[in-house]
Chains A and B, each alone.
Chain A
Amino acid sequence: MIRRLLSSENVPLLCTVGVCLALYLAFGTMLDGFFAPQVFVGFFSENAFLGIAAIGMTFVILTGGIDLSVGAIVGCSSIMVATLVAGGMHPLAAGAIAFAFGTALGLAMGAIIHFFEQPPFLVTLAGMFLARGIAFVVADESMSISHPFYDLLYQLDLRIGDVSVPSMTLLYLGLVLLAWGVARCTPFGRTVYAIGGSEQSAVLMGLPVGRTKIGVYALSGACSALAGMAYGVYTFSGNPTAGAMLELDAIAAVVIGGTLLRGGSGSVLGTTAGIAILGIIQTAIMFQGTLSSWWTRIAAGALLLGFIGLQRLAHARTARH
């Protein structure tokens, strides 16, 4: 059992969880009140929309691809929903339209990547320009949302004792479980891992490689659109600049979470631990009070470098065996 737990596949995940715990304990003993349960919930609720976007990114990276359009789709979806709601549409209908847009854009990018054999990096870069451009065309500045449905969503929470878990955090955690199930227990999930391991072998095994690759980008687009809606619930507004550089944070969370950038190994649970690490650092810097928030980025960068080095070592070890 312990041997299985320590198999090379699990080492990056265990490292992430270890770093997560170490940071939590270290900051907890240093800062007053850091161990309060509500603070713990905050690690996830502060970053729920980043987390939702990172779920889609995890699948894309598992196939060995990358999606740079994530942040732009978040911005685009948030401003679309805000504009439609301001025009009198029900938030659910507006959300459905934004969701369809994100999915369709992801689908189109996936199709170009697969059928025309284009690098994902470049195609999703075009998608990023397109989505950001459309966001600015829809409305060129931030727009507030006022609708009873949003008040309801904002106040809706799960109470455990005197700890409250906001609705968007519940949505995020629910999506994590769902995504974990999809990755582990469905043919789609297994094909994703197979493509990341070796696309050529996956083709030779007769797996539906094309459909899965396109599906992964559509999934990422859909997650980003959902993340845009979650952003709306948090801020009661839509903003065409929302989610700028979010794709970087999402990639960072995925890598810190132990998913290999060349694909084939990693998990959504790891990404969630990565999100928690980012949340812990942010919260600790907020608690500490004197450090500027820019240290968050520097700390995230340093962690990223550390985990990349770790991946490098793990790869060198497996290559030698």
Chain B
Amino acid sequence: MNYSLLVLASPLSGGTANRSACRFAEAVISRGHALRRVFFYDRGAETALATAVTPPDSEDLRSAWLSLAEENATELVSCVASGLRQGVLDDGEAARHARPRTQLKGFTTGGLGLLVDAIAGSDRVVTFGESMDP
């Protein structure tokens, strides 16, 4: 089957949903399914933030996402509008706003059209968000 993921949870939040998404992505692939695209939206866009440093005693989820994408031709897309609010700038946005580039290499930037395209072109789309309950 053809899967895409929608990731709303940040790897920096202290929660576990971003990690669950990454583990799920690995499981999808190891079962022989195709993982076309992961769309990082809302706080999930922080997954592409190059300037955040993972402490040595914690798992570096960014490198897990990157190696998964590299080995399986999965597209990692960070939402451009969410990214701007959280300081994730690709080369184009960095130039436009006169700031340094902060997007991790290996991620691409895109709008919600790429999420719509993933929904239309996948058998399954699975959302990973953090509970927003108080």
- Mutual binders A and B: no
Point out residues on A near B: beta carbons under 8 Å. none
